[in-house]
Amino acid sequence: MDSSLLGSPLLGRDEKHAKEREYAFIFQQLLETILKQYDNCLASREQAEREFDVADFHTVIPCATKSIIEAQFQHVYTHEKFKEVQAQFRGKVDCITRSMYSTLGFTTYEVIEQVSNSTSNKFVVTYDAVSRDVKCHCLLFESRGILCRHSLSVLSFERVDNMAPKYILERWSKNIKRRHTHIKSRQDEPLLEPRSKRFDELVFWSHNICEFASEFKELIEILHRAFDKVIAEMEEY
| Other C-beta atoms lying within 10 Å of the C-beta of residue 63 | 16
Rounded-to-integer distance, Cα 209 and Cα 57, Å: 37
DSSP string, 203-233: HHHHHHHHHHHTT-HHHHHHHHHHHHHHHHH
pLDDT for residue 11: 53
pLDDT for residue 210: 79
Rounded-to-integer distance, Cα 154 and Cα 127, Å: 8
Looking at 5-163, list the stretches that DSSP marks H as alpha helix, in order from N- to C-terminal side: 9-58, 68-76, 79-91, 140-144, 149-157
Rounded-to-integer distance, Cα 103 and Cα 101, Å: 7
What's the one-letter identity of residue 25? F
- Per-residue pLDDT 10s for the chain (237 aa) are 445 545 555 556 777 777 778 777 787 777 777 777 766 776 666 665 555 555 555 678 899 888 999 999 999 999 889 999 999 999 999 999 999 999 988 999 999 999 888 899 999 999 999 999 999 999 999 988 999 999 999 999 999 998 998 999 888 888 765 544 555 555 455 445 676 677 777 777 777 777 777 878 888 888 888 877 887 777 776
3-state DSSP assignment of residue 134: strand
